[in-house]
Structure 1
Amino acid sequence: MRLISFLGLGEAKRDPDGKPTGEYVYQPTTYRFNQDPQTDINDTCYVVRAITQGYVIEEKGTGSHKVKEVVLLATEQAEKAHLHKILAEFEAHQLPQPRVVRVPFGSNAEQQWEQFNTILENIPQGNDKKVIFDITHGFRSQPFFAAAVINYVRSTRNIEEIPDMRILYGEYNREKRASDIWDMSTFINLLDWSSSLQSFMKTGHGAGLATLARQENAAIQKAGQGERPRTLASLAESIRAFSDNISTVRVPQIITGKERGSASDVLAKIAQSEAEVRTHFMPLFPVLEQLQAKLQGIPADSLFSPQGHQAMLELAKLYVSYERYPEAAIVLREGWVSLYAETQGADEQQLKPDVRSNMESRWNAAEGKDSPERIADQIRNVRNDIQHGGFKEKDARNPANSLIRDLQILLDKFEAKLKA
């Protein structure tokens, strides 16, 4: 297990008259893990020594993991002020000697990118690796860069190349005998959940959430941890099902379904997970509120009802917000056709081929080539132009922004018709 620790300057030492001596110090304390006195590491100024000596990860199947390699990221000034003391403590306790990696102050963009790359270069590849980040004594923005690099690695590396990464912070307390070392690793998972939810909200793709849920469950089983939040995985699975329907334009399954549509299921799972989100992942709560607002108007009891027609309008708008214009054109066309059902409800009967064909005939007769606006022809032209990829001779020079504009105009007209 590799420990990557940041070393800053600490406090400026002063003489009895209060004048700086030019030396920098960290105050000695007893560091403690999990608020357990049996884990105490006594009388050290350096949390890096306490973590190296006392931090253990217990996992089912793989046993105990201790720090075997230490990378100390330090500016030149911090190295001169503290390295000799750190090395002496490590030697006295027979710990693996730290490898010092020099980093700049980060006072300009060039130095900040150098810091970023230095941290990145010291993160090993492979999901069999374990990396601990100690941000306790981080200088200036170094802890921020650690979080940025962790997020970057988890977003850009293949899954088999991402190590198990954790974050520790030692809370030095002058008033107490022991200073607790906190495991902040939950916030790494928070980044994943937040990123996956945002990806779904912006694109409609929810497979990443389902993958995250499976990984989270596997990690819990492997670590043998106690009771953990349970409804977040269920929420992610409902979003995956909704995403699959969105990707394949399963309009009936999205809006209604046999018992209730996948949009309704997502909304139900959001309600069920609200308490756990507030307790364990509070920063995600506003994201779920936004997702709830996006889906609120989509569920309906029947496609062939005023509520169902409005739901298809809202679904088409959702596709536009995802910049998925072919799907929006499909939903718009089917929504307009559905207005010409002879009766309301009875969805299974209304979706039979002959019934649907008669519905389309009535739509074409009312709003096709013989009508003033020829809405049916306009929708058909936009949809076909997109689906044929511009390979129709008359469509070849039709620019994308023109198609998007025409689609939005037709959506506005559909909305106006529903209000009429």
Structure 2
Amino acid sequence: MPKTRLISFLGTGNYQPVRYFWPDFPDDPGVETRYVGHALAETLRADEIIVLATAKAEETHGQKLADDFRAAGLPEPKLRPIRDGKGPAELWENFRTLRQALAEAGAESIVLDITHGFRSQPFFAGAVVSFVRSLADRPADIRVVYGAFEAKDEQGRAPIWDLTAFIELVDWTQAIREFTRTGEAETLSRQAEMIGRRLAKDWNAAGRPGARPAVKEFADTLREFGGALVTVRTGALLLPRGNKPSVTRALRQALSAARADLERHIPPLAEVLDRMETDLLKPLDHDLSHLSGATGQAAMAALARLYLDLGRYAEAAAVLREGWVNLYASEPATQPGTAAFDAAQRAKAEARWRETSGNAARTIATVRNDLEHAGFNKQPLPPETIRDQLNKLIAEFAQVPPPAAEPTVPGKTYFVTRHAGAREWAAGRGIAVDEVIDHLDPGLIRPGDSVLGTLPANLAAEICARGGRYFHLSLDLPPEARGRELTAADMERFGARLEEFEVRRVTPDRDEG
């Protein structure tokens, strides 16, 4: 299986011998030949050589080229016919021929030599390279080179110029555009990964001058950031991860480390990298350890705004909702993805938000339900309405003042039971109860309230969601005692006890806010 494939054009010119060399490698003595493809094949140790030639070019140089390669002990070049390019039909046929040569499986790297290309051949060669690389999931490393005969130095040597960066500029611009417009980072990370491998290879071949290129690390961090963005990992995007920075800050640092290598390789990248830094990363980079307070509010508003701008409406609505809940939450309840995160405190904050935020909670719930349930209702919201409502809600959230401190009113204790024996048992144990009730209305529960009893899971979950505490009256009943009225003494004998449970509804049918 060939590792390096050389693809070269052959024209009809009167090619003169010259010593072709690679300027990037000062120790390269070069190869003296009239055909730059020969110099490239020998320098690169190409395993496969494909030469594209018109009938006239093959007649003029085909046999001489084959003899030249044979004398140098190189693999025999495979000549593939192309047309003269007289009109669009012939140009498209040449396009398909070059595309096939580039796209054939087997090569780890491909070098495309356009030195002897004729008329429009060098121009469309660049278009074919971009086309092939944009369609392939894992494209081979393709380099485009040109032997500059007219640029001979004092020793009569002609440099081989690497023009790949001009092709890659288009790829980079498109990939960054995709990233900044959709948040999808895989195309850009693959582009950076490919260039990172090449720069590292060239750095090794040149004797490792200066620091090792940092583009590969940039590619890895970019992929991590993109994953966190598309899966809405809010904690990873905005908060430190143990002793590591947030993925947003890590990407800014990786971009800073790789910027010099990228700009040296493709100078115009400076402008598009600046845009990526300014539009996407900087608004999310804050010095935070939690997401409560004014700084947390600003960070969540920026993240919601980013999702809205990316056209990710469901993600924008989710971040907006959680950001609003943060205003009512303690610090541990605003640290997602950390060991300090307190789910119980989060539930209390959500209950208080639903009770006090009024129209905002209802509107967010309406939008989220419409999105999450794919418009399966009688009157799904039009897309422009969804965007308009989210835009207004984000603006409102960014400016909303923090809620007043939660009043320190002691919670009530409810004992839900219809059994006299249970009431007598509680009194005998000295359990303080504010109210004994036969049935519980969950709307009575306020943060800090406690409920005792043997309730079904859905009611227990509602109590916890409203910020209350649920204590289950547990008994170790033998089969013969089940279904009959128990006395206080019976309950003692059967190990009656109160056990606190935190119950949470995992997949509600419809979101309440």
C-alpha distance in structure 1 between counterparts of 2:141 and 2:12, whole Å: 29
| CA distance in 1: counterparts of 2:366 and 2:190, whole angstroms | 39
What amino acid is the match of 2:32? I
Give the residue type in structure 2 aligned to 1:31: Y
**Secondary structure class of the residue paired with 1:66:** coil
Q: Please tell me whether residue 30 in structure 1 is matched to residue 16 in structure 2.
A: no
What is the aligned residue count? Answer: 382
Q: Is the 8 A contact 1:320 1:328 kept in 2?
A: yes
**Alignment pair present for 1:296 and 2:282:** yes
Q: For the residues of structure 2 that align with 1:264 and 1:308, how far apart are their CA atoms? A: 16
1:153 equivalent among 120, 123, 132: 132
Amino acid at match of 2:360: I
After superposing the two structures, state which structure 1 stretch, 29-38 or 213-222, moved more: 213-222
Shift of 1:100: 4.4
Deviates more, 1:217-226 or 1:376-385: 217-226
Match of 2:240 in 1: 257
Match in the other structure for 1:167: 144
Written as runs of structure 1 = structure 2, the 5 A alignment for 1:74-223 is 74=54, 96=76, 99-105=79-85, 107-108=87-88, 110-123=89-102, 125-128=104-107, 130-159=109-138, 162-172=139-149, 173=151, 176=154, 177-185=156-164, 195-208=174-187, 220=200
Partner amino acid, structure 2, of 1:323: G
Report what 2:306 is aligned to. 318
1:308 aligns with 2:288: no
Structure 1: distance between partners of 2:73 and 2:17: 19
* Pick aligned residue for 2:258 from 229, 250, 273: 273
CA distance in 1, matches of 2:355, 2:341: 20
Which of 359, 364, 368 aligns to 2:354? It is 364
SS at match of 1:168: strand
Deviation of 1:97 after TM superposition, in Å, equals 5.4
Distance (Å, rounded) in 2 between the aligned partners of 1:248 and 1:411: 20
Query: CA shift at 1:415, angstroms?
Result: 3.5
Deviations 1:371-414 (A, max 9, x none): xxx121111100111011112x234x433333233322322333
Distance change in 2, residues 1:263/1:149 (3 Å): same
User: 1:328–1:73: structure 2 CA closer, same or farther, 3 Å change rule?
Assistant: farther
- Counterpart CA distance in 2 for 1:253 and 1:92 is 61
Q: Distance in 2 between matches of 1:272 and 1:90?
A: 44
Cα distance in 2 for residues equivalent to 1:222 and 1:135: 21
Separation in 2, partners of 1:355, 1:183? 60
Q: Kindly indicate whether residue 383 of structure 2 is the aligned counterpart of residue 400 of structure 1.
A: yes
Instruction: Give SS of 2:114's match.
Output: strand
Supply the AA of the counterpart residue of 2:260. A
Instruction: Indicate the structure with greater helix content.
Output: 1
Q: What is the one-letter code of the residue matched to 1:414?
A: F
CA displacement, residues 296-337 of structure 1 (integer Å, 9 cap, x when unaligned):
121231311212111111111111222211111101111122
Residue 295 of structure 1 aligns with an amino acid whose one-letter code is L
Is contact 2:9–2:114 with CA below 8 Å preserved after alignment? Answer: yes
> Structure 2: how far apart are the matches of 1:141 and 1:204?
37
Taking the TM superposition and a 5 Å limit, the aligned residue runs for 1:46-65 are: 46-52=35-41, 54-56=42-44, 65=45
CA–CA distance in 1 between the matches of 2:67 and 2:315? Answer: 66
Q: Does 1:41 align with 2:32?
A: yes
The alignment's TM-score, normalised by the length of structure 2, stands at 0.64
Distance (whole Å) between structure 2 residues aligned to residue 253 and residue 90 of structure 1: 57
> C-alpha separation between the residues in 2 aligned to 1:333 and 1:308?
13
Give the aligned residue type for 2:85: F
Q: Which residue of structure 2 lines up, in the alignment, with residue 4 of structure 1?
A: 7
Q: Which moved more, 1:359-368 or 1:207-216?
A: 207-216
Q: Which amino acid aligns with 1:257?
A: P
Please list, as runs of the form range in 1=range in 2, the aligned pairs for 1:12-23 lying within 5 A after superposition: none
Q: Structure 1 residues 309 and 154, CA, compared in 2 at 3 Å: closer, same or farther?
A: same
CA deviation vs aligned residue, 1:94-128 (integer Å, no higher than 9, x gap): 863551422343654x4443332121122352244
Q: 1:137-177: per-residue Cα shift (whole Å, max 9, x none)? A: 22343223222222322332343xx4453322101136641
Q: Which one has more relative contact order, counting CA pairs under 8 Å at least 6 apart?
A: 1
Structure 1 residues 398 and 235: CA distance shift in structure 2, 3 A: same
SS at match of 1:303: coil
* Paired residues of 1:200 and 1:206 also in contact (CA < 8 A): yes
1:148 match: secondary structure: helix
Change (3 A) 1:231 1:178: closer
**Unpaired segments of 5 or more residues in structure 2?**
403-513
Separation in 2, partners of 1:37, 1:181:
11
- Report the RMSD for the aligned CA atoms in angstroms: 3.7
The structure-2 alpha-carbon separation of the partners of 1:398 and 1:273, relative to structure 1 and needing over 3 Å to count, comes to same
Partners of 1:257 and 1:399 in 2: CA distance? 38
> Which residue identity does 2:351 align to in structure 1?
S
| Residue-by-residue CA offset, 1:187-232 (whole Å, 9 max, x unaligned) | 6666665554443323222344555666667775799645374322
How does the TM-score come out when normalised to structure 1?
Answer: 0.76
